[in-house]
Structure 1
Amino acid sequence: MRTITTSAIAMIAAAGLATPAFAQDSEAEAMRAELEAMRAQMQAMAARIDSLEGQLVTAQAKADAATETSTTALAAAEEAKSDTSVKWKGAPQFEGNGFTFKPRGRMQYDVGYLGAPDSFTDSAAGFGSELRRAYLGFEGTIPGGFGYRAEVNLASEEVEFTDLYITYAASESVKLTLGHQKPFWGLEELSSDLFTSFTERAAINTAFGYERKVGLSAAISSGDVLAQGGIFTDSITDLNNDDGDNELAYSGRVVFMPKLGENQLHLGANVNYRDANAVRSVNYRVRPSIHTPDVRFIATGGMPVESELAYGLEAGYIAGPFHAAAETHWQKVGRPGLADPTFFGGYAEVGYFITGGDSRGYKNGAFDRVKPTNGVDKGGLGALQVNVRYDYLDLNDAGVVGGKQDGYELSLIWTPTDYTRFLINYGRMEYTDAAIPGVDGDRSYGVDAFGARAQIDF
């Protein structure tokens, strides 16, 4: 890279030493002096070139180091980028480095019509509409086997907590849950309201005040058997009241859920005990198969209750487009100084998908999401399902006359995509010993209830 090298300087210097003997001549002396000056200048130039070469080598080393650092950083960034993925499960689910995070929510808008007999004068009869549920929250997992879910309901006058818990997978077959969750009441109650056969659950699941509670639970699975149990106290809302007399409740459930070829069988039993830790006024009551009318035709009225013992049986079967489900429930109520009544109820339903290839979902001891074989998003019709149900509840016992219900219900469900659903249902509810008499005092009559729902979730 040098223009003049050190060897060239040496040659010139040697040429200067080869000057003839006439060096004593003044002209020769002048030339020698000029050559010496030139040699000095060239030596200085060579030294400068050496210095510049050193600086160039240092700069090149720094540039190489910077390039290597940049390449390493880009590689690390690319590796980090490739370690993070996004899946779509109704909403984006982010996964990376053992973590997952997914927003979740649902919206259900209902309309309904209650047709009561002429002898009935309650103003709740007629047309009604409501935002039934509006949930918003998030869920995910954390390395080490931990998970979480937090969700609130925005449809009420005040924001209500729904699921709010932490989970821990102690092993592949053991899962612990701590926080605000559902105790183990039964098949339909533990199936999400997103996947029920009618807009409202059966009377046994709405009459007895089932709600989420704060507690610690465990689920243990082994082959076709699932065992669930937990200890609970009040709901978050009741805990925040700080009245100092929180209840204590125990819940257990066992499910046998074998696959019979391509079909799914479900057999289960559950038991729940609640010690109120104080005498509380409780009113067992139920709406007429839809939620929009704020009226209950059968109700016990406020009773002093200090404990509850509930137990039930469950059965379900899924065979391609067909499904059947049935449950029974006994509710024994401890009343201080009074006879303890035992109320009874149950339901039986069957359903069938008109569209080919569709079937009801099932997972972990509960009904699950329907995924249309030919959804609207795929250019198809979606899934069409019809269901019929008989719904019975008896709130008469031990001197308590809360009334009896015989309900006959029919529903049609259209599921255009995995995360959208539209329901319409009709119920004919026949009452005996109704809590609300007609204008002529008659307590045995029937009402007609029509309901519809538009639903989306993510």
Structure 2
Amino acid sequence: MATPVLAQGKDSATDELAALRAELARLSARVDQLETELDQAETKAEAATAAAAAASQSAASASESAAAAQASADKAPSIKFKGAPLIEAAGGWSFKPRGRLQYDAGFTNAPGSTGREDGFGNEVRRARLGVEGDIPGGFGYKFEIDFAGNETEITDAILTYEDGGLKVNVGQHNNFQGLEELTSSRFISMMERAAYTDAFGFERRVGTSVQYSGGNVLVQGGLFTDNISDLSNKNWSADGRVVFMPKMGDTQLHFGGSLHFTDLVGGSTVRYRQRPFVHFTGERFINTGTLGADGETGYGLEAAAINGPFHAAAEGYWQKVDMPIGDDPTFFGGYAEVGYFLTGGDSRGYKGGTFDRVKPANPVGAGGIGAIQLNLRYDYLDLNDAGIVGGQQSGFGVSMIWTPTDYTRFMMNYGKMSYDDAVYAASGGDTSYDVDAFGVRAQVDF
């Protein structure tokens, strides 16, 4: 009985031992498999880490390249177009060519018995080229030459400095005579400015001036010598202007006054005279002749309003002559005008104490016809005083202006000049008569 039982126990132990050996072999194989997988995972992890590091390096390089490209782009000049290319560079540099061309033609009609030349006339009224721009530090420059009339004349030659509302000008520039004179010829409402501005010899002069603009107030003043073409001499002048320019709702208002004093060297002379409404005629029916003068004192008042398509403006100017002998005469000139745009959405521009560019709401080239404006003006000039009989001129003018784009303009003007005490007598010695003038202008500026 014992022997079979013992044999059965030995067989069972043998089976268990074989099973354990098989399990150990399986576990060993599994361990080998796991070690292999771990090695593979570590290899992949190392590859992934290396790839991530490479990607990070590439991203850093790309970021550096982008930053360098942006820095380069920031330093590269930008080009805008404002009638002509405006080039702006980092640090406050800018450069822009500028210019204008105005071609006039028309007729004048004076009484034949005066013996004065009339009929058709034409001219290049202005042909200017120049440059302007900014210099780092708040400085700027403007230089322009006029080639009209087969002559070369420097109009503006200025170095400027600006800091907030303060501006300093050094060089040849306008000396604050008033709204009409300081408004650019590109933006005036008639082909020519009011008669007194030319008669009283308003012109650019070499000098130094300061102006300050803050809120609704503009203050300008400076000391000047003479026009650059007349230097060198000892003439000098002091000029100042104050403007109050508030807005009331949609209405831009303008009120101003100016004062001017000119000291002339001994033996100087002045002469006040004026053409009939247009510049292409050389005839002048009012003329004081040559007057000895030690100096001039002028003072002016100005007012204007702009509301939508409507505008109105008026100025008066008194010019007193300090004569070495006899009474000192005071001559007067002034004008009043109204204007209205026939095209919807258009209005007269205004900026910095002067009239500015008209920008058509619907320009030609963008589906519109541009801006069309009608203007009426009464223009008066009196050159009679203190025994001097230079004549009186009352001008009645009408103009139609078509502005197809921001930088092009076409004008048509008619004026009737009524004279008293004209310097040229008609038949029978009559010095009171009328002269008619008609003119057209084509203009482009940039």
Q: TM-score range by the shorter chain?
A: 0.7 to 0.9
RMSD: 1.7
The structural deviation recorded for 1:279 is 2.5
Q: Which residue of the partner structure matches residue 403 of structure 1?
A: 391
Match status 1:106 vs 2:94: no
Whole-Å separation in 1 of the counterparts to 2:263 and 2:149: 28
The SS at the match of 1:318 is strand
1:318 has 2:318 as partner: no
Q: Could you tell me which residue of structure 1 aligns to residue 86 of structure 2?
A: 93
1:272 has 2:250 as partner: no
| Residue 73 to residue 285, structure 1, CA distance change in 2 (3 Å) | farther
Q: Aligned equivalents of 1:160 and 1:390: distance in 2?
A: 31
Q: CA deviation at 1:77?
A: 6.5
Select which of 152, 162, 165 maps to 2:158: 165
Provide the C-alpha distance between the structure 2 equivalents of 1:205 and 1:362, rounded to a whole number of angstroms: 20
- 2:224 & 2:238 partners in 1: Cα distance? 6
Residue in 2 that maps onto 1:37:
none
2:152 matched to 1:152? Answer: no
Aligned partners of 2:123 and 2:149 also within 8 Å = no
Map of 1:23 onto structure 2: none
| Partner SS state of residue 102, structure 1 | strand
Offset of residue 278 of structure 1: 2.4
Aligned pairs (5 A) from 1:185-264: 185-239=177-231, 242=232, 245-264=233-252
For 2:417 and 2:324, how far apart are their aligned partners in 1?
33
Shift of 1:74: 9.7
> Tell me, what secondary structure is at the counterpart of 1:156?
helix
Q: What is the CA-CA distance between 1:439 and the residue it aligns to?
A: 4.1
Asked if 2 retains the 8 angstrom alpha-carbon contact of 1:121 and 1:439, the reply is: no
* Ranges in structure 1 where 5+ consecutive residues have no aligned partner: 1-67
- Number of the residue aligned with 1:61: none
The residue identity in structure 1 corresponding to 2:209 is S
Residue 279 of structure 1 aligns to a residue whose secondary structure is coil
* CA shift digits 1:295-323 (9 cap, x unpaired): 11101001111100000100000000000
Residue 173 of structure 1: how far off its partner (Å):
1.2
What TM-score does the superposition give when structure 1 sets the normalisation length? 0.82
One-letter amino acid of the structure 1 residue matched with residue 225 of structure 2: T
More divergent stretch after superposition (434-443 vs 285-294): 434-443
Whole-Å separation in 2 of the counterparts to 1:80 and 1:353: 47
Aligned residue number for residue 115 of structure 1: 109
**Offset at 1:117?**
1.8
Query: 1:420–1:457: 8 Å Cα contact kept in structure 2?
Result: yes
Tell me which stretches of 4 or more aligned residues in structure 1 moved more than 2 Å: 71-83
Q: CA deviation at 1:333?
A: 0.3
**Structure 1 residue identity aligned to 2:261:** Y
The equivalent residue for 1:65 is none
Identity of aligned residues (%): 57
Distance 2:396 2:311 in 1: 18
| 1:28-427 to 2 correspondences below 5 Å | 76=68, 79-83=71-75, 84-97=77-90, 98-123=92-117, 125-169=118-162, 171-239=163-231, 242=232, 245-427=233-415
Question: Cα distance, 1:81 vs. partner?
Answer: 3.8
Instruction: Measure the CA separation in 1 of the matches of 2:136 and 2:149.
Output: 35
Task: Indicate if the aligned counterparts of 2:297 and 2:321 stay in contact, CA closer than 8 A.
Answer: yes
Structure 2: gaps (5+ residues): 1-60
C-alpha separation in 1, matches of 2:247 and 2:139: 29
> Cα distance, 1:206 vs. partner?
1.2
Q: Is the Cα–Cα contact under 8 Å of residues 433 and 443 in structure 1 kept in the other structure?
A: yes
Structure-2 residue corresponding to 1:27: none
Cα displacement (A) at 1:262? 1.7
Q: Give me the TM-score of the superposition, normalised by structure 2.
A: 0.84
Q: Is contact 1:283–1:299 with CA below 8 Å preserved after alignment?
A: yes
SS at 2:196 equivalent: helix
- Tell me what 2:28 maps to: none
Aligned residue for 2:293, secondary structure, equals strand
Tell me the SS of whatever aligns to 1:237: helix
CA contact (8 A) 2:216 2:246 kept: yes
Question: Partners of 2:428 and 2:273 in 1: how far apart?
Answer: 23
CA displacement at 1:99 relative to structure 2: 0.5
The aligned amino acid for 1:234 is D
Amino acid at match of 1:254: V
Displacement after TM superposition at 1:359 (Å): 0.1
- Number of paired residues? 385
Q: Which amino acid is 2:439 matched to?
A: G
Shift of 1:261: 1.2
Which residue pairs with 1:41 in the alignment?
none
